[in-house]
Amino acid sequence: EKGLGMKNPTKFFRSILGRMLNSYLIDIMTHSRKWLKQIDEMALEADKFFLCQIKFLKMRRRLSGVFCM
């Protein structure tokens, strides 16, 4: 028994490559999840901001309507 590497080198290298690729892909996935979470949070903040702006504009319109009458 010389070990896996000597008996079947291609299989051995393939398994190593597979493991490396797997860990790499997992890293990418976790990072992209973090990024997506951050983007979601930013979008939520932007939504809140725009909602406030819209409310403010509506209030201003109402007020100006009151003053014009």
DSSP string, 19-42: HHHHHHHHHHHHHHHHHHHHHHHH
Q: pLDDT for 6-44, tens place per residue?
A: 677 788 888 888 999 888 888 888 888 888 899 889 988
Q: pLDDT for 41-67, tens place per residue?
A: 998 898 898 888 888 888 888 887 776
The span from the CA of 26 to the CA of 32, in Å, is 10
Q: Which two tokens stand for residue 24?
A: 């790499």
Task: Indicate whether this model's pTM tops 0.85.
Answer: no
Is 5 within 8 Å of 12 (Cβ atoms)? yes
Q: Residue 2: its pLDDT value, please?
A: 54
CA torsion through residues 31, 37, 41, 46, sign:
positive
